[in-house]
Structure 1
């Protein structure tokens, strides 16, 4: 998971996961200080809501010993980062800061305290602009325009009902968010595993499915075009593929056509091939 191995990290696993997926420990530090402040200055109800929750989580899912010896045996290590979603950091920090500011006398001291806390929160973590300015979505579906165009053409060609399609990895991971009538020939976890992810598993697939999907991925990702074309086409038929969608610039286009797939339409920089029975 993110290059972090429980056996290698040992009791430091929890910290490494938080730093890897949380960016840094600034927010965590603010959270711990907020819990401490509420434990010392908070009312009984506040301590019950915020402090009790933090202590319970600390002794269970964030306990390094529990993670190493219990969660590891339950097979939950690869998705451990999701446990940080239940930590009420934003709520606790916001509440504690509001209580601190409200506890100051009216005047310059209250404004200065509010400004100082706001500065720590705004500049202590990772900037939301670190990855560039947010981009407006292409359309109301928040999907690439070329994906919508491809889906429209596929339905025009195949008619209503479900359609089994081989998509390139980028489309494969999002197409069903737009249209669930497409059946993915390439299993999502298989694609992620092929790309090097270690947070998913292909245990639900048979050995034959893994073999066939690997051959298809080798071609459409242009990793290995030396595969016998008959083997490639056999894998398509074994997986009951009806169509293949490739980028027009893909080096695999000529291979797929030579293998026997029929080019149907070209739309928005993508070529749609039909897989026919032989």
Structure 2
């Protein structure tokens, strides 16, 4: 139980980040809703309190967090109406100021507080101009299109380098992955066979025969290699690989 509590707190820290001041203001706003608010404000308090109790419940974490939301349980904290509660409460407080000038000053101060406690999102660390309408790396689209060309639009199962794991399925549902983000603990835990394939694919020196046999046994149709990262042997055919296509530095091999 103690370990579960620590997991919940770690997820909460992932959710709150550096926003402890905002969270403290939110808790103060909840108290204001309960003590000074009307029935609607008190319902807002009730919803928030129930959400907090549920999300911090170790039993809920055991059932939901570990089985279905591993690695992303912190996202459930988004259901807590932090911003809405703060906005409503600050509006109520500003409305209590009778003089128009003082009310404008109060609103201005609140805007400054909001701006100073926030973070400018559109900077080089958190924002970049998308390469395409899908807002995913163009190379993921190129690799997917090449596989679709090879299969004539059919369904296939592939293994791709780690840099493409998160994007292939965002572009097309016709390409399944032998393993996805679950290999890093997101959503659900990988199977032993998936972990074996991941370790073979990411070994410092790839055992191409073992990777071929393991992927073939899993039902994989293609393996994509990044030739800028891996030195691909000339004798790939002897391991059971057939080069079917390429795009940029990515080579697409079928498994024979």
Shorter-normalised TM range: 0.7 to 0.9
Whole-Å separation in 1 of the counterparts to 2:187 and 2:141: 29
Alignment of 1:80-159 (within 5 A): 80-129=73-122, 132=125, 134-159=127-152
Tell me the SS of whatever aligns to 1:139. Answer: coil
Does residue 1:245 correspond to 2:224, yes or no? yes
Alignment of 1:207-222 (within 5 A): 210-211=192-193, 213-221=194-202
* Structure 2 residue corresponding to 1:71, chosen from 60, 64, 67: 60
> Relative to structure 1, is the Cα distance of residues 134 and 82 closer, same or farther in structure 2, using a 3 angstrom cutoff?
closer
Tell me the SS of whatever aligns to 2:225. Answer: strand
Q: Contact conserved, 1:166 with 1:244, CA < 8 A, in 2? A: yes
> Relative to structure 1, is the Cα distance of residues 255 and 43 closer, same or farther in structure 2, using a 3 angstrom cutoff?
farther
Does residue 1:37 correspond to 2:32, yes or no? yes
Whole-Å separation in 1 of the counterparts to 2:239 and 2:33: 68
Whole-Å separation in 1 of the counterparts to 2:9 and 2:222: 46
Q: Contact conserved, 2:178 with 2:220, CA < 8 A, in 1? A: yes
Q: Contact conserved, 2:166 with 2:181, CA < 8 A, in 1? A: yes
Name the structure 2 match of 1:3. none
* Structure 2 residue corresponding to 1:225, chosen from 205, 208, 229: 205
> Relative to structure 1, is the Cα distance of residues 126 and 52 closer, same or farther in structure 2, using a 3 angstrom cutoff?
same
Tell me the SS of whatever aligns to 1:235. Answer: helix
Q: Using structure 1 for the length normalisation, give the TM-score.
A: 0.77
Whole-Å separation in 2 of the counterparts to 1:17 and 1:215: 28
Structure 2: gaps spanning 5 or more residues: none
Deviation at 1:177, TM superposition (A): 1.5
Number of residues paired by the alignment?
Answer: 250
Does residue 1:17 correspond to 2:6, yes or no? no
What's the Cα RMSD here? 2.8
Does residue 1:61 correspond to 2:40, yes or no? no
Deviation at 1:111, TM superposition (A): 2.1
Whole-Å separation in 2 of the counterparts to 1:82 and 1:19: 11
* Structure 1 residue corresponding to 2:162, chosen from 166, 169, 180: 169
Whole-Å separation in 2 of the counterparts to 1:140 and 1:214: 33
> Relative to structure 1, is the Cα distance of residues 217 and 141 closer, same or farther in structure 2, using a 3 angstrom cutoff?
same
Q: Contact conserved, 1:218 with 1:224, CA < 8 A, in 2? A: no
Deviation at 1:148, TM superposition (A): 1.3
Structure 1: gaps spanning 5 or more residues: 1-5
Whole-Å separation in 2 of the counterparts to 1:75 and 1:255: 48
Structure 1 segments of 4+ aligned residues over 6 angstroms from their partners: none
Name the structure 2 match of 1:268. 248
Deviation at 1:230, TM superposition (A): 3.0
Whole-Å separation in 1 of the counterparts to 2:84 and 2:225: 46
> Relative to structure 1, is the Cα distance of residues 16 and 175 closer, same or farther in structure 2, using a 3 angstrom cutoff?
closer
Q: Contact conserved, 2:150 with 2:245, CA < 8 A, in 1? A: no
